[in-house]
């Protein structure tokens, strides 16, 4: 599918971006969320300058991502760590099998 061109408005500035049609709705939601975060930071009056507002918004969103939880209340970081451990264990257990099938 050909990419679509969207115009996103973030903190009063327009940005043209290309995306796959199936990603359009998610990208629009992300842009609205980012715009809201940046506007809240700017409106607090504690941070001046668009570049600093953008960095602070990026830090807040990153912190939210790192602290995200699954539906069961388990931290996603813990899930990723445990999956890496299980993957390593599976690799270790399957290694002897590779000798049987050269």
- C-beta of residue 20 within 8 angstroms of C-beta of residue 6: no
Phi and psi angles of residue 67, each rounded to the nearest 5 degrees, phi first: -95, 5
pLDDT at 49 over 80: yes
Q: What is the DSSP string of 25-46?
A: HHHHHHHHHHHHHHHHHHHHTS
Which domain does 85 fall in, by range?
70-102
Looking at residue 100, its pLDDT comes to 67
Cα dist. 41→14, 50, 56, 62, 85 in Å?
19, 10, 8, 15, 39
Average pLDDT over residues 22-29: 93
- Rounded to whole angstroms, the Cα distance separating 93 from 97 reads 8
Note whether 20 and 48 are same-domain residues: yes
Q: Which has the higher per-residue pLDDT, 98 or 33?
A: 33
Domain count, the chain: 2
Note whether 32 and 6 are same-domain residues: yes
**What is the pLDDT confidence band of residue 74, given thresholds at 50, 70 and 90?**
confident
- CATH no. for residue 10? 3.30.160.880
């Amino acid at each position: 599918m050909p990419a679509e061109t969207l115009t996103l408005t973030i903190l009063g500035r327009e940005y043209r971006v290309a995306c796959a049609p199936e990603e359009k709705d998610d990208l629009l939601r992300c842009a609205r969320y980012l715009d809201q975060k940046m506007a809240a930071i700017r409106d607090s009056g504690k941070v001046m300058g668009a570049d600093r507002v953008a960095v602070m918004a990026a830090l807040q969103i990153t912190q939210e991502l790192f602290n995200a939880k699954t539906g069961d209340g388990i931290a996603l970081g813990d899930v990723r760590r445990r999956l890496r451990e299980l993957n390593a264990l599976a690799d270790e257990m399957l290694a002897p099998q590779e000798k049987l099938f050269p």
